[in-house]
Amino acid sequence: MITYLCEDTPEGIFTAVYDAWAAKIPDDRLHLMTEQEMNFSLFTEYRQVETDQEKAVKVARSIWQKIANEAYIQVYYASLSNEEDKVDAIYHFLKQGFRYGARVLDMHGLVQVCRVYELYRSVSNENQKYRGFVRFAEIGRQGRKILLARIRPKNQLLPLLGQHFADRFGQENFVIIDDERAMGYFHGETAFLSKVDMVQIDRLWQGQRDTAYEELFQTFFRSIAIKERENYVCQRTMCPIRYRDYMVEFSGGKADEETQMAGGRLQIVENKTESMGTGTKQMGSHKI
Amino acid sequence: MIVLEDLEIEKKLEILSDAAKYDVACTSSGVERKGSQEGMGNATRCGICHSFAADGRCISLLKVLMTNECIYDCKYCINRRSNDTVRTSFTPQELCGLTIQFYRRNYIEGLFLSSGIRRSPDETMEQIYRVLFLLRRQYHFNGYIHVKGIPGASAELVQAVGYLADRMSLNLELPTAQGLQKLAPGKTREKILTPMRQIQNGIREQKLLLTDGGRIAKKSDNGSSLYLPGDGQILREKSSYGVSTRSGKQERFVPAGQSTQMIVGATQENDYQILTIAESLYRKFELKRVFYSAYVALNEDKDLPQVGTKPPLLREHRLYQADFLLRFYGFAAKELLSEEKPNFNVYLDPKCDWAIRHLEYFPVEINRADYEMLLRVPGIGVKSAQRIMRARRSAKLDFDQLKRIGVVLKRAHYFITCNGKMLYHTKIEEDYITRRILELDHAKNWQMDYQMTYRQLSLFDDRKEGVTG
């Protein structure tokens, strides 16, 4: 068995595909994975993939030219997935793709095609949800304010969300932090992805912060609901609890919906100040 | 009427969103627009939901009234003149500020602006125009705007607003003219349909101008009648409201199309009447959407259901299901309902209901049936049908593959064969299939009328204690 270990980025994965393809190893002896999930097994030769921009671009270009743009999109999204088998799935999909061309996208009979499609769909669904559920807070002192958002997605969404918000808020300085991966997307004069120090982020998050509009939105959120139609099941199906950690209208995450609806204003305010006070401890508890 | 002009913004927001909440539409779909250099905002064709309120409805737009003052006394309406509530209005600046600040925090996709009629329809429409103009030109807001057309407003104002908004809608309010006369004495069918027609013509005209110029007139992907913007110049007279085309940039007239809304359950109309009207609105007025709003009995009136009557949510749900069948599944209203059977089946969704009454068409062979027939199979939606069409080009499909491409067989398997075989041994018999499907649906329909919530308890769930302790 030969296992390729690559960096968990689209570039890293594409490089691994390039290397494995070039080495012409038979499928039943080949395994590709990202370096994070390290469970070394016996009788396996591990090959570390050195991420190489040029190789990655070559792979991307061949997907466009020999398969289709749609295939590229699917593979790119799949490469952002958090599923362990994604690199294998992408490799085998591309193998079929180079064999059949654009037709491969219709060949749902092939397991490889279905798997990449599944990965693509799950990343794209989560991305769609987060496009709506990301909440920016205005943080910092006068003159040095930025918009800061925190998320906790299953998949690596920063490149996709970054692109979306860069188009939307072209003039703004904003940062999106992925708590799980301790990474941030920074948008200002330039835009880039980078690892971040979560302790610093926490400190920034608890610093000076403009809450006036957060309160206004909470007011709006409460008064827009029709009491006679209350339906928390539907609310939770459409906006699952795991997305709510940083959504201000759910006041810092796991707010009690029933009291929120019935109790009105006072309770919300209480709830909010408390969650601000307890700081990191409170945030930590959401992870469960 | 108690009018309070200078309330603080929070109070205004509370009153004017509360007053707007019975308007159903909150969609931000139908237009794709990239961000701009100078301003803020873009729009995506499929729209984005930003939150979900306690009633489970999507919050996509900042849905508010300009004012809840109103000269009319429509019986069903919470803002009717005779209701003794606090009245207030936003200033255009306040509204722009809220929209922009909410938008940059990603709370909303844009603005949904409606209004009570203050003094006259024209004055109200002009106020709305002011907000939109300010928002688009001064704040350079490039996000989504949905605006209510005010019945009875002048054509010129409707036109001017149409070039600043993405979507416009005029509420039909009640399915029949008699209903309208009885409950909304200030409005007439004509006052509602005239601007609706005007908007339709505006959209059409623009389409012609875009295609006639021999420019790119690419059909949008959903096959609808909207065209993507070309770079053709629109020949349009300079309006006195100052919405002329700036050089090099082209405004489009109501690019996301128009919609409307009907109240269900305030008057005696049956489902067949409502659906027929929706159908003709789609055909004759080329509307993008018709929304249905289960009437919430709030006002005391002899012509209305008693206060506290439960809103007919299941009925509303059935109407939406049927509405989708009209728009995407090639059904006609008269196939689903008739004079003899004027209301929807409480227990079965309209598509299942139709299928069970037409078992002569089933089972359908997945590998041969045409697209239209696939769409008629309960459990197979537009996406599934399209995927089946694509997948079967390269191989014969069996049930495993159907599952793999994401077709849910729970319901569908009673109505289909793959290579001549059904999934289980099923009798194509009305009673048998009905019974089986009812078992699937029972819990869901029950839930619709008796909303129950529960929350899964977690061992580690210390959300409350941790905070208060």
Chain B CB contacts of A225 under 8 Å are: 21, 53-55, 57
Percent of chain A with pLDDT over 70: 86
∠ CA A57-A61-A65, rounded to 5°: 175
So what's the pLDDT on residue B426?
Answer: 79
**Per-window interface: B 392-411 vs A, CB < 8 A:** 393-395, 397, 401, 404-405
Closest CA to A161 of A37, A48, A77: A77
So what's the pLDDT on residue A197?
Answer: 94
User: How far from B176 is each of A222, B24, B184, B276, CA to CA, in Å?
Assistant: 33, 19, 11, 11
Confirm or reject contact between B463 and chain A (CB < 8 A).
Answer: yes
How far is residue B411 CA from its own chain's centroid? 27
So what's the pLDDT on residue B427?
Answer: 78
Window from A67-71, B209-213, B239-243, B290-294 with minimum mean pLDDT: B239-243
Provide Rg for chain A, Cα atoms.
22
Chain A CB contacts of B48 under 8 Å are: 128, 131-132
Residue range A251-266: mean pLDDT, rounded:
42
Q: For residue range B231-267, list pLDDT tens digits in order.
A: 233 323 333 333 333 333 457 899 999 999 999 999 9
CB contact under 8 A, A224 and B294: no
Confirm or reject contact between A165 and chain B (CB < 8 A).
Answer: yes
Torsion of CA B375, B381, B385, B391, to 10 degrees: -160
Nearest CA in chain A to B13: A220
Smallest CA–CA distance, residue B313 to chain A, in Å, is 8
Window from A67-76, B398-407, B435-444 with minimum mean pLDDT: B435-444
Q: For residue range B299-319, list pLDDT tens digits in order.
A: 988 889 999 888 999 999 999
So what's the pLDDT on residue A252?
Answer: 47
**Per-window interface: A 108-127 vs B, CB < 8 A:** 108-109, 111, 114
Provide Rg for chain B, Cα atoms.
24
Give the nearest partner residue to A172 out of B21, B50, B104, using CB atoms: B104
So what's the pLDDT on residue B459?
Answer: 44
DSSP annotation of A66 reads I
Nearest CA in chain B to A216: B10
So what's the pLDDT on residue A202?
Answer: 92
Q: For residue range B347-362, list pLDDT tens digits in order.
A: 889 999 999 999 999 9
Separation CA A161–CA A128 (nearest Å) = 9
B258, B168 Cβ separation under 8 angstroms = yes
- The β-bridge relationship of strands A45-48 and A2-6 is parallel
Mean pLDDT of chain B: 84
So what's the pLDDT on residue B199?
Answer: 94
Residue by residue, DSSP assigns B121-151 as: HHHHHHHHHHHHHIIIIIS-B-SEEEEEPPT
- The β-bridge relationship of strands B61-65 and B110-114 is parallel
CB contact under 8 A, A239 and B394: no
Higher pLDDT, B146 or A142: B146
Residue range A74-102: mean pLDDT, rounded:
95
Residue range B4-27: mean pLDDT, rounded:
89
pLDDT bucket at B446, cuts 50 / 70 / 90: low
Nearest CA in chain A to B8: A216
Chain A CB contacts of B313 under 8 Å are: 229
Residue B306, classified by CB atoms within 10 Å of its CB into exposed (0-12), middle (13-18) or buried (19+), is exposed
Higher pLDDT, B243 or B298: B298
So what's the pLDDT on residue B186?
Answer: 85
Q: Indicate if the pLDDT at residue B454 is higher than 70.
A: no
B296, B309 Cβ separation under 8 angstroms = no
Window from A113-117, B233-237, B240-244, B335-339 with minimum mean pLDDT: B233-237
CB contact under 8 A, A220 and B390: no
Confirm or reject contact between B464 and chain A (CB < 8 A).
Answer: yes
Confirm or reject contact between B51 and chain A (CB < 8 A).
Answer: yes
Higher pLDDT, B88 or A208: B88
Smallest CA–CA distance, residue A232 to chain B, in Å, is 6
Q: Name residue, tokens 């408390």.
A: A274
Q: Name residue, tokens 């799935």.
A: A89
Separation CA B376–CA B330 (nearest Å) = 9
User: How far from A88 is each of A55, B75, B299, CA to CA, in Å?
Assistant: 18, 64, 63
Which residues, at least 6 apart from B339, have a Cβ–Cβ distance to it below 8 Å? B272
Q: Report the top-level CATH class of B2-231+251-327.
A: alpha beta
Q: For residue range B115-147, list pLDDT tens digits in order.
A: 999 999 999 999 999 999 999 999 999 999 999
So what's the pLDDT on residue B458?
Answer: 44
pLDDT bucket at A110, cuts 50 / 70 / 90: confident
CB contact under 8 A, A165 and B106: yes
Mean pLDDT of chain A: 85
Which pTM value belongs to this model?
0.84
How far is residue A160 CA from its own chain's centroid? 8
Nearest CA in chain B to A243: B51
So what's the pLDDT on residue B442?
Answer: 67
Q: For residue range A26-52, list pLDDT tens digits in order.
A: 988 999 999 876 677 778 888 999 999
So what's the pLDDT on residue B15?
Answer: 94
Q: In what order do the strands lie in the sheet with B167-169?
A: B61-65, B110-114, B144-148, B167-169, B258-264, B289-294
Separation CA A264–CA B463 (nearest Å) = 19
Residue range B43-69: mean pLDDT, rounded:
94
Q: Indicate if the pLDDT at residue B200 is higher than 80.
A: yes
Higher pLDDT, A162 or B469: A162
Residue by residue, DSSP assigns B173-219 as: BSSSHHHHHHH-TT--HHHHHHHHHHHHHHHHHHHHHHHHTT---PB
Q: Indicate if the pLDDT at residue B153 is higher than 60.
A: yes
- Max mean pLDDT among B37-46, B281-290, B460-469 falls in B281-290
So what's the pLDDT on residue B123?
Answer: 94
Window from B170-179, B232-241, B358-367 with minimum mean pLDDT: B232-241
Neighbours of B410 (CB within 10 A): 10
Q: Name residue, tokens 């194509």.
A: B428
Q: For residue range A192-220, list pLDDT tens digits in order.
A: 999 999 999 999 898 888 889 999 999 99
**Per-window interface: B 290-319 vs A, CB < 8 A:** 294, 296, 310-311, 313
B99, B141 Cβ separation under 8 angstroms = yes
Confirm or reject contact between A134 and chain B (CB < 8 A).
Answer: yes
Domain ranges for chain B, please list them: 2-231+251-327, 347-449
So what's the pLDDT on residue B250?
Answer: 56
Smallest CA–CA distance, residue B257 to chain A, in Å, is 22
What does the block give as tokens for A140? 């910092």
Residue range B134-162: mean pLDDT, rounded:
94
CB contact under 8 A, B56 and A149: no
pLDDT bucket at B468, cuts 50 / 70 / 90: very low
Higher pLDDT, B294 or B444: B294
